[in-house]
Amino acid sequence: MKRFAAAFLSVLFLAVPALAGATVADAEEGARLRVELNELNPRVITGSTTTLTVAGTVTNTGDRKVTRPQVRLQVGERQTTERGIGDVLSGAVIKDSPLTDFTSVADTLEPGQSAPLNISVTLTGARAAQFSRPGVYPLLVNVNGTPEFGGPARLGAVSMLMPVLAGPGKTVSRGSGAPSMTLLWPLTSSVPHVYASPLGGRAVLADDRLADEIGPDGRLNALVTAAHTAVQGDPSLARSMCFALDPDLLATVDAMSRGYQVHTDAGTIDGKGAQTAQTWLAAVRSLVGSRCVVALPFADADLDTVSQIRPGDATLIAQAAAGAATIQGLTGVTPQSGVLWPDGTPNASVLAALAQAGIRTVLTDAGKLAPAAAGGGVTVQGSTVRAQPTDSLISSAMTGVPTVPDSVTMPATTEAAVTSQNGLGALAFRAGLGLPAGQDRPDHLLVAPPRRWDAPAAELTAYLQQVGNFLDAGLVTATSLPTLLATDPAGPGPVGDGGQAAAADPAVVSTLSSLDEKTTGLASAMQLDPTKRVKPDDVVAPVRLAELRAASTSWRGLPADAATANARADLAAISEQVSVSQPKQTIALASGNSPLPVYVSNDLPVGINARFVLTNNTGLRSDDAKARFFPAGGGKNYFLPVEALRAGRFSVDVSLRTPTDTPLGSSARFELTSTEYGAITIIATVAAGAALLLLASRRIYRRVKDAKAGRGPVD
């Protein structure tokens, strides 16, 4: 993606036919060009706009030569309904007309070859008239060409919304009744990066990508830098913004700043981003200062998924919602009390758990609330929690919406720059730009960008600058989140049917439930050591946090093993600190019932109850199934009563398990030799011999008796 005057715009487009009467098959045949835009200027048309410029590249991504590729701009009719905006965003067919003539891109484009795309049009006369009235217009960059062995067709296109505050050469008129606006600015990582976080040890990350994200050219640094620049020069914009912080991200970066390691297949290595982490964390503190801050769930966990890990128990939900203390400790700013911004609308059981945890307000998608929530939010029926809606249309425009099947023009749905341009258009539309005076519009807009917005700093800066221009033009007015939430909700209301949240991954839930059960069993076996004063719950706390990371919304669509790696690693790191040592030499049993010496180390800061388990033990028997207590911070020999079942050389595996059968450490193999049998074996042997002697005697007796009777031997 290349840098351009105001922003970055890049989008991969599947092409479809442009000519009338083209079929769906033709559309698939024509999917051959990728259109990348690196300049769009201006982002919003005003009365002073004289020129519209679009520049970029066209690349042949097909396997056939394309002849006579040519491009033109097309503009659709001013959109006056939410459905019309939705059609543009989803790629539905809309009526448009040429803004320019076709301009040649190249004579031919061979497969893999690129050519520059440049259009600059003066907005005067008939062209200016196409933007004569304030409103939001669809703008299409349309590339046609003729693929080898085919006919002329539309081979690539980029579609976006273009707000027009005033037609070129006209005066901006300030309307009355402009809605107020609050802008959320989320800071959360792409995925949780912690691999292991042992109690009292250095953090181990799964990779070092977070160092890049917070580095000079990284996504998270761009979000902080752009916001800092914008709020410094625009008090109204600063007042409207509230920074949504992920406590797990802040805690991870803080751990990185003190030195950390990175997990690799060959072992752990030192991380490279300690100084970068210090710099970024300082920039976050400077940005939020005394400004509005709201908490995300820990690791942006999917609360519905969390509720399924331990059904009926609200503990994990409360832990996911308890990030305010972490945010306050690492930034010096206290987040809005009792306010949480989870992804999606929590279900009834989650809302009840949140209420118990002190959460009074959740920020959520208006599309999932009843229509009554469109204004100041509602108190969800059956709950004490207020649901404050974010604007669904704006969020969809900035996140990307599913495309219409067989769409003639497919919009950009994944590229942050194009979707932010659409976000500006959707914001202008929702604010009432160009709408009839009697048309309903919301009193307030709570704008929620993508939670993991990935765009360069220049694009983010351009977006914020234009939102500031909307404020200056009176299209919207700035309202802080505390002011918004100080108003009473509209009343009780149900959760609507405006969309279902993504279902929890059954494999993730199953794995986490199993790990949680093992962790609970491990904690129940622990005992506080009076000298170390470490609580068992503190020892297993890293696993609980890892469970929340595994439930993060960022893992949706990714492998379950990747999501649960942290929880599995942290549970293993705890259990492996209680282990049976591998003997260095063969152990000779002095007698058939000699005790087996087993050395156990407990490196945990708590004592633990566990029992010995023997496996692969065909030559050895132990009836000792009782639990023993292993004190904290040390090791000693324990003598396990065993009995040899045979003489000779054999092996046995010895391990430890808690009373609830949670395994500890790994098993150790003991090589044994025995020259004697145990008492039970001897008794069994004597009994068998006596039985054999009795049977033999009986047989001899019968032979003698039969011989005396003259009947001869009987077999």
DSSP count for the chain of H helices, then E strands: 20, 34
Token pair listed for 160: 């976006």
Q: What gap in Å lies between CA 476 and CA 466, rounded to an integer? A: 12
Please give the residue that has the higher pLDDT: either 191 or 399: 191
pLDDT at 213 (0 to 100)? 97
pLDDT tens-digit readout, 60-69: 988 999 999 9
Q: Which residues pair with residue 656 across a beta bridge?
A: 612, 664
Q: Is the pLDDT of residue 428 over 90?
A: yes
pLDDT at 192 (0 to 100)? 96
What mean pLDDT comes out for the span 255-275? 95
Token pair listed for 595: 């005790």
Q: Which residues pair with residue 117 across a beta bridge?
A: 56
597 Cβ contact partners less than 8 Å away, ≥ 6 residues apart:
587, 637, 638, 639, 640
Place of tokens 């108003």: 487
Q: What gap in Å lies between CA 283 and CA 363, rounded to an integer? A: 26
What mean pLDDT comes out for the span 302-313? 93
Q: Which residues pair with residue 153 across a beta bridge?
A: 145
Q: What gap in Å lies between CA 430 and CA 340, rounded to an integer? A: 25
In the 3-class helix/strand/coil scheme, how is 124-144 assigned residue by residue?
Answer: CHHHHHCCCCCEEEEEEEEEE
Judged by average pLDDT, the poorest of 15-24, 356-365, 672-681 is 15-24
pLDDT at 3 (0 to 100)? 41
Q: What is the mean pLDDT of the chain?
A: 86
pLDDT at 589 (0 to 100)? 76
What mean pLDDT comes out for the span 110-130? 95
What mean pLDDT comes out for the span 199-203? 86
pLDDT at 368 (0 to 100)? 65
Token pair listed for 697: 């005697």
Place of tokens 């004490």: 384
Q: Is the pLDDT of residue 680 over 60?
A: no
Q: Is the pLDDT of residue 117 over 90?
A: yes
Query: How far are the Cα atoms of 61, 179, 227 from residue 2, in angstroms, in the given order?
Result: 19, 35, 21
pLDDT at 258 (0 to 100)? 95
pLDDT tens-digit readout, 227-247: 999 999 899 999 999 999 999
pLDDT at 646 (0 to 100)? 74
Please give the residue that has the higher pLDDT: either 475 or 710: 475
What's the distance, Cα to Cα, between the start and end of the chain in Å?
99
pLDDT tens-digit readout, 654-670: 999 999 999 999 889 99
What mean pLDDT comes out for the span 95-120? 94
What mean pLDDT comes out for the span 206-218? 96
Token pair listed for 434: 């160009």
Calculated CA dihedral for residues 642, 647, 649, 654, nearest 10 degrees: -10
Q: What gap in Å lies between CA 389 and CA 362, rounded to an integer? A: 8
Q: What gap in Å lies between CA 158 and CA 172, rounded to an integer? A: 28
222 Cβ contact partners less than 8 Å away, ≥ 6 residues apart:
455, 456, 457, 460
Q: Which residues pair with residue 493 across a beta bridge?
A: 380
pLDDT at 106 (0 to 100)? 95
What mean pLDDT comes out for the span 291-314? 95
- pLDDT band of residue 7 (cuts 50, 70, 90) is very low
